[in-house]
Every structure is written in structure tokens, then in C-alpha cells.
Amino acid sequence: METINRIRQEVHKVVVGQDKMVESLLIGLICQGHILLEGVPGLAKTTTINALAKSLGLDFKRVQFTPDLLPSDIIGTEIFDPSNNSFKIKHGPVFTNLLLADEINRAPAKVQSALLEVMQERQVTIGDDTFKLDLPFLVMATQNPVEQEGAYELPEAQLDRFLMKVVAGYNTRAEELEIARRASNGTFGNIEQVADAKELMRVGEEALKVHLDPEVEKYIVELVFATREPTRYGLEDIKEYIEFGASPRASIDMYKASRAVAYIKGQDFVSPIEIAYIAKEILRHRIILSYEAQAEGVTQDDIIEKVLAAVPIP
């Protein structure tokens, strides 16, 4: 808990407000889970991820996703060495601890698919060779939801590999005034390393000790199943809006993330409050909407709110 507070303090030297975004990234670090950040430009998404890497002394690389990016630009490639008439491996930026995939939806599917193996298996295959990555390894991706020209939707298989999808909103008036003052006066602080990879792994092990009551475990599963079988939970009104419900990874990730939330709050047990707190972030990218939902402007968050209201709290 103390380690998490130190990291949070360092991040807030350069990030004003955005508490939910910062906390979600900390949950990702504790759970070793990838995070997708969605928000309009200027909300400190990249700054926050960079600050986290510095506060932990982690190896950090950034890739700007563009339509002309190639898979080899991310994972690496084989290069012919004429001096000894053989091929050698050139590692790409994915060989790091924290990979920032900036504007990930700007690159086509063949590039996005290059991340599928590394996100799930923490390994990279180049030619005939497979390389295990050093832990911790996390992909923290950003995407801009506003401008859709030249953007490509992430495939469902890749979305499912993200622990959470976090939607960053605007700051409050007071926070924005503080940002303007700090930016114009140059008074943002310098990030210092306050922990390391070994300590982060220890925090993850401590979070695993947080207790989940069997009734709370069932509550997690019921929430996920309500997105697949809404009529069984009295949710006939949203059935036509759901093409596909959340995958089994939703149950796994909600189980892990709820423990991390409880740990950050200093609790040794998980209550339904922690589950409701992260339900939207865990589920919103895993529910596939039908054409009817898109036509009527119904969002994944609307469906999740209905599900939370319908499933009995233990």
C-alpha cells in the first residue's frame, strides 16, 4: 500500500486530477494487465504512462501507430549480415517493460495483430525463434475516439486481451486552472524513482492474498453471465442491443482487478463495492453491440448500468 501511494504521489507531480485514470493504470501494474486508454487529445494520457515508468525505473518505449507502420516495426525482424553470410535478429520496441502504443487505432489490422502473441503469452516470435520477454511487461495503449478518418477499429480478439478500457474525461475547472498555472510557470515536478520491478512484483503477490468470499465470487460470474443471457436476469429490454456478451476473460480480469482495488484501498477483502467500481472498465470493451444499439445510440456503459442494477448484490 505504501509503495502504491509513493508511485501515485510521483505521478501527480506532472498530472493534475484524472484520479480514475491513474488508479486504473496502477491496477494494471498490480495485476500485470494491459490497459487501453480512450480520450480526446490533451488529457495527459501519454504523460501519465511516462510518469509511471519513471517512478518505477522500468524500461519504457513508445510507438506512434500510423497507417504505414509494419509489424516488424514493433516486434523486430531478421536482418541479413553479409559479413558472416547469415541472418541476425533485430529486436523491436516491444522488448521492454512498459510499451506505450500511442493512438493504437491508427494502424491497420496486420500491425495490431502483431501484438496478439506478446500481449497474451509475453513472448515474441521472429522467424523461427521465440523470445520470452522480461517481466513485468505491459502494453498501455491510447486511442482517440473523436476523429475516425484514418482510424481502424481494434479486433475483438485484441480488445479482449486488455484488462481494462479506461475512458478519460475532462478535468474540473479548478484542475484545469491549476494545469494552466503549472504549464505557464514551468512548475511541474521532476519524477523520481520510488520503487522498482522487484517491488512491483511483491505488491502483486500481496494483492493476491486479498480475500474473496464465495458469494462475491459468484456475484462476479453473475454479472458476466447477465451480459450473455440478459433475459434470465429480467433484462429483456437490452437483449436486442447485445450481439455478444463478455468473454470468460472478463470474469478472470474482474476477479484480479477487484483484489487490486481492495488492496489500493487498504482492505484485506473484496466487497461488491469494489466490483461495481471497476465493472465498466472491465466489461465495456468486451460487449459487442448489435446494429439496433448503434442505431439508437445505446452504449456499452448503458448496458453495464442496467446489469449492475438487475443482478442481486450479495
Q: What is the per-residue pLDDT for 1?
A: 67
pTM of the model: 0.85
Q: What is the per-residue pLDDT for 224?
A: 92
Main-chain phi, psi angles of 141, to 5 degrees: -110, 145
**CATH for the 2-199 domain, from 3.40.50.300, 2.60.120.10, 2.60.40.10, 1.10.940.10:** 3.40.50.300
Contacts with 18 (C-beta within 8 Å, 6 or more apart), sequence order: 43, 44, 48, 168, 171
Q: What is the per-residue pLDDT for 252?
A: 92
CATH number for the domain running over 208-310:
1.10.8.80
Contacts with 95 (C-beta within 8 Å, 6 or more apart), sequence order: 76, 124, 131, 133
Contacts with 294 (C-beta within 8 Å, 6 or more apart), sequence order: none
| Angle between the N-to-C axes of helices 248-264 and 214-228, in degrees from 0 to 180, rounded to the nearest 10 | 140
Contacts with 213 (C-beta within 8 Å, 6 or more apart), sequence order: 269, 270, 314
Domain spans, the chain:
2-199, 208-310
pLDDT along the chain (314 residues), means of 10: 80 80 86 86 77 84 86 81 77 86 83 81 81 85 69 77 86 83 78 82 87 91 91 87 89 92 89 91 90 88 91 86
